[in-house]
């Protein structure tokens, strides 16, 4: 059983925490409902939960807590700023994806990332692919 505390969150919106044999969440009715379903189907240890296709932000947070619990969570881009033309932080882009912006166009509209030289657009697509657990060709 995983004992360290692990968190996945959407800033000012929803959070899920795992540790000491428990999973707790707050901030989103949809997230609470899904976590309750996972608990009743698979138990309280998120290392035993299956990764599922992403339909909404709740799925993103649940997948994140599963992947962090099994030491498989990875975001390949490690610099603080992702879009240098528009000074958009990587975390801002990640949070925007978690808040249901699931295309480059939606991210650009929400953050302005990718609206300058376009050099960062391939990295935006990679981040989308990693967070949505989707093939890059489908992004
Ligand atoms: S680096 Fe993002 S548009 Fe130029």
Task: Decide: 50 in ligand 1 pocket, CB within 6 A.
Answer: no
The ligand 1 atom at the shortest distance from the C-alpha of residue 83 is 2
Domains and their CATH numbers in the chain: 6-69 (no CATH), 81-138 (1.10.10.1100)
CB of residue 117 inside a 6 A radius of ligand 1: yes
Condensed to tens digits (0 to 9), the pLDDT of residues 55-110 reads: 999 999 999 999 999 999 989 999 999 999 999 999 999 999 999 899 999 999 99
Residue 119 Cβ contacting ligand 1 at under 6 Å: yes
User: Rounded to two decimals, what is the model's pTM?
Assistant: 0.91
Provide the pLDDT for residue 3.
62
pLDDT above 90 coverage of the chain, percent = 86
Ligand 1 and 120: CB distance under 6 A: yes
Which residue's CA lies nearest to atom 4 of ligand 1? 117
The whole-number average pLDDT for the span 40-66 is: 94
Q: What are phi and psi of 16, to 5 degrees?
A: -135, 135
pLDDT at 23 over 90: yes
């Amino acid at each position: 059983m995983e004992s360290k505390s692990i968190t996945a969150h959407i800033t000012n919106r929803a959070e899920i925490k795992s540790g000491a044999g428990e999973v707790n969440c707050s901030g989103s009715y949809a997230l609470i409902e899904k976590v309750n379903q996972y608990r009743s189907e698979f138990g309280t240890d998120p290392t035993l939960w299956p990764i599922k296709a992403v339909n909404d932000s709740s799925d993103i947070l649940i997948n994140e807590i599963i992947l962090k619990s099994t030491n498989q969570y990875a975001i390949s881009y490690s610099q603080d700023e992702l879009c240098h033309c528009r000074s958009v932080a990587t975390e801002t882009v990640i949070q925007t994806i978690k808040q249901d912006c699931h295309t480059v166009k939606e991210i650009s509209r929400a953050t302005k990332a990718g609206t300058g030289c376009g050099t960062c657009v391939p990295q935006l697509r990679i981040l989308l692919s990693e967070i949505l657990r989707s093939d890059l060709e489908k992004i």
